[in-house]
């Protein structure tokens, strides 16, 4: 079994926020791949299904963004899995809008959700870092990520969500680099302001 975790906040008011990019991807995966209904378990909304030959649990933690790791840890213990069996989808301000990078290991780069995952699960979780750009000043980061995507961003955001879902079988069958390449082929990043990340 593999666990896919989305980072986000559970209340309806956060639904379309940049910080809920991970939840948005998981919703698409559940719909596109015929997963079962969402239900409450492991302090999360979870949905089960298969991608190719891989059994997959989708998790949208209800612990709020900064405590993502606590919910993921509960599922890992229950299924007797390890950090290597977990992939987390999250927004990334250090990547330009529409860029995507897959990473394992390393630090949290100031992302409190990833900090929680490292603390509770381990550094070797696979991170699908989905670029949302940087607002330009550190003091503006929190209101920026807790705001909805701008209208101008919706086309590339929707394309990336669709590409992550469509390319998911490649993640399990061919690995991180092939998945990353396929997502960027399906959803090329938009031209962006050079002042942004």
Structure tokens at 120: 């509770």
Catalytic residues: 19
Are the C-beta atoms of residues 4 and 57 closer than 8 Å to each other?
yes
Average pLDDT over the chain reads 90
| Alpha-carbon gap, residue 21 to 40, rounded angstroms | 20
pLDDT of residue 97: 93
Least confident of 22-26, 31-35, 167-171, 193-197: 193-197
Dihedral sign from CA coordinates of 41, 42, 47, 48:
negative
Categorize the per-residue pLDDT at 192 as very low, low, confident or very high, splitting at 50, 70 and 90: low
CATH numbers and ranges of domains, the chain: 2-186 (3.40.50.1470)
Nearest to 97 by CA among 181, 191, 21, 176: 191
Categorize the per-residue pLDDT at 196 as very low, low, confident or very high, splitting at 50, 70 and 90: very low
The string of pLDDT tens digits covering residues 48-89 is 999 988 999 999 999 988 889 899 999 999 999 999 999 999
Report the pLDDT averaged over residues 147-151: 93
Q: Say which DSSP state 18 is in.
A: G
Nearest to 88 by CA among 26, 165, 160: 26
Write phi, then psi, for 169 (nearest 5 degrees): -55, -35
Categorize the per-residue pLDDT at 191 as very low, low, confident or very high, splitting at 50, 70 and 90: confident
| Alpha-carbon gap, residue 195 to 3, rounded angstroms | 36
């Amino acid at each position: 079994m593999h666990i896919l975790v989305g980072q986000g906040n559970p209340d309806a008011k956060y639904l379309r926020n940049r910080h809920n990019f991970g939840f948005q991807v998981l919703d698409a995966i559940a719909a596109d791949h015929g997963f079962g209904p969402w239900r409450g378990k492991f302090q999360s909304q979870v949905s089960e299904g298969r991608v190719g030959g891989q059994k997959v649990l989708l998790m949208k933690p209800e612990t709020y963004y900064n405590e993502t790791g606590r919910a993921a840890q509960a599922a890992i213990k229950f299924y007797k899995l390890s950090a290597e069996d977990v992939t987390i989808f999250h927004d990334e301000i250090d990547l330009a809008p529409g860029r995507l990078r897959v990473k394992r290991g390393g630090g949290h780069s100031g992302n409190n959700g990833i900090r929680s995952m490292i603390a509770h699960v381990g550094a070797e979780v696979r991170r699908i870092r989905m670029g949302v750009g940087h607002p330009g000043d550190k003091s503006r980061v929190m209101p920026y990520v807790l705001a909805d995507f701008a209208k101008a961003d919706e086309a590339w955001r929707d394309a990336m969500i669709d590409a992550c879902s469509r390319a998911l079988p490649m993640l399990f069958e061919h690995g991180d680099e092939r998945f990353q390449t396929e997502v960027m082929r399906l959803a090329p990043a938009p031209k962006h302001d050079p002042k942004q990340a």
